[in-house]
Amino acid sequence: MVKYAFFLGCQIPMRLPNIEVATRKVFEKLNVEAVDLLGYSCCPEPVVSRLVDEETALVISARNLTLAEEMGLDMITLCNGCYETLAEANEVLKHDAEKRSKVNEILRKYDREYEGKIDVKHVIEVLYEDIGLKKIKSLVVKPQKMRVALHYGCHLYREYKSADIMRKPRMMREMVEQTGVQVVDYGLERMCCGYPSMQASEEFSLKERLARKLSKVVSAGADAVVTACPACMIQFELGQVMLRAHGVQFNVPCINLMELLALSFGVPSKELLLEFHRSPVLQLIRRLEG
């Protein structure tokens, strides 16, 4: 059994508990023990926090990292944004003595100290490296017969262990392929979904990013989009609803990687809180289940 400190983030437990449910079911099947982090806070979120105040963002990240250090466990994240924030903070604090000293000066007031003893891993890395594709494939009892387009999410390309930014996206693709789906290429995989641009311009975000991607996804004949990031999922689902106000209609289901794994492992769809989806995922799954 592999054991990790479980960093859930904000969006998943608060807005997308369907992803948390699916993940816990998948972990159970794969013998991954995920220990909850008591008192963890937002990572903090990568778009606003670091731009406004880098030092505070580092302190908040460091506090979260000390919670995992106390347990002596590496940290696992489900969200691309949380992954980037925490993994980057971990790298900065491990190698920049001045910043670590400033951060620890604040943390010590509360009997905390960042020591740089743990690693931060995305769930994709854990499943691929610690569990392996062979084990994952062996658990697939209900292959998902659909054509899917992959959206990896920008933060998944952030790489701290090698120069190969495609390392984790490639892992995700290989993992998705174990579930019985057919992955279709649509040419705009690398393009941002537009979630962070919503801070600046809703119209740009929806029309110049999301709608462009969705057009290509539909043209490629995909039944659904699979993503590993909750923020991207919100953009793909809520964004399609918002696009209607701009006179643009799409109806593409968007499903999380962990949900796809859970379904292929035979977890009944009614246990997965799929009603939380704002895109027609329920309809797609019902159609597949006949």
Partner 1 sequence: MVVQLESEIINYLREILGDDLIKVYRQRERRIFAIIKPAVLRRTIEALKSKYSDMRFMTLSAVDNGLDMEYLYHFNINGIVLTIRVLRPKEEPILESIADIIPAANFIEREISDLFGVKLVNHPELDPSGLILTKDWPEDQRPLRRPFEGVLPLKARPVAEALIASGCVAPISTFVQKKREESGLQKSPPFPFTNEKILGEYHGIIKASGIGDRVGFDWEKRRLRYK
Instruction: Identify which range of 42-50, 90-98, 132-140, 245-253 contacts partner 1 by CB under 8 A.
Output: 42-50
Beta-carbon contacts of 115 under 8 Å, excluding residues fewer than 6 positions away, are 66, 69
- Alpha-carbon gap, residue 80 to 148, rounded angstroms: 20
Question: Which one of residues 4, 5, 8, 151 is an interface residue with partner 1 (CB under 8 A)?
Answer: 8
Binding segment toward partner 1, per CB under 8 A, in 83-91, 133-141, 249-257, 269-277: 269-277
Helices (H), the chain: 11-15, 17-30, 48-52, 54-71, 80-95, 97-107, 123-125, 133-139, 167-177, 202-203, 211-219, 230-244, 257-264, 281-289
- For partner 1, give the closer residue by CB, 171 or 210: 210
Sole binder of partner 1 in the list 19, 26, 49, 100 (CB under 8 A): 49
Nearer to partner 1, 41 or 283 (CB): 41
Q: In DSSP terms, which residues pair with 121 in a beta bridge?
A: 76
- The correct pick among 60, 188, 226, 261 for binding partner 1 (CB under 8 A) is 60
Which CB, 104 or 144, lies closer to partner 1?
Answer: 104
39 makes contact with partner 1 (CB under 8 A): yes
Give the CA angle between residues 157, 266, 136 to the nearest 5°: 45
Please state the closest distance from residue 200 (CB atom) to partner 1, in A: 8
Sole window of 7-15, 131-139, 169-177, 179-187 interacting with partner 1 (rule: CB under 8 A)? 7-15
* Near partner 1 by CB under 8 A: residue from 42, 238, 243, 282: 42
**Is-contact 232 12, C-beta < 8 A?**
no
Q: Match 């002596």 to its residue by tokens.
A: 72
Return the number of the residue (52 or 165) whose C-beta is nearest partner 1.
Answer: 52
| 243 binds partner 1, rule: CB under 8 A | no
What are residue 272's phi and psi, to 5 degrees?
-105, 10
Binding flag, residue 282, partner 1 (CB under 8 A): no
Q: In terms of C-beta distances under 8 Å and separation of at least 24 residues, what long-range contacts does 239-248 make, across chains too?
A: 239/193, 239/194, 239/205, 239/206, 239/210, 240/210, 240/214, 240/278, 240/279, 241/278, 242/202, 242/206, 243/206, 243/207, 243/210, 243/211, 246/203, 246/206, 246/207, 248/206, 248/207, 248/211
Q: Quick check: 23 binds partner 1 (CB under 8 A)?
A: no
Q: How far apart, in whole angstroms, are the C-alpha atoms of residue 108 and residue 87?
A: 22
289 binds partner 1 (CB under 8 A): no
Q: Which stretch binds partner 1 (CB under 8 A): 19-27, 123-131, 165-173, 203-211?
A: 19-27
Asked whether position 115 contacts partner 1 by CB under 8 A, the answer is no
90-109 residues near partner 1, rule: CB under 8 A: 106-107, 109
Residues that bind partner 1 (CB under 8 A): 8, 10-11, 13-15, 17, 20-21, 24, 36-42, 44-45, 47-49, 51-53, 55-56, 59-60, 63, 106-107, 109-110, 198-200, 271, 273, 276
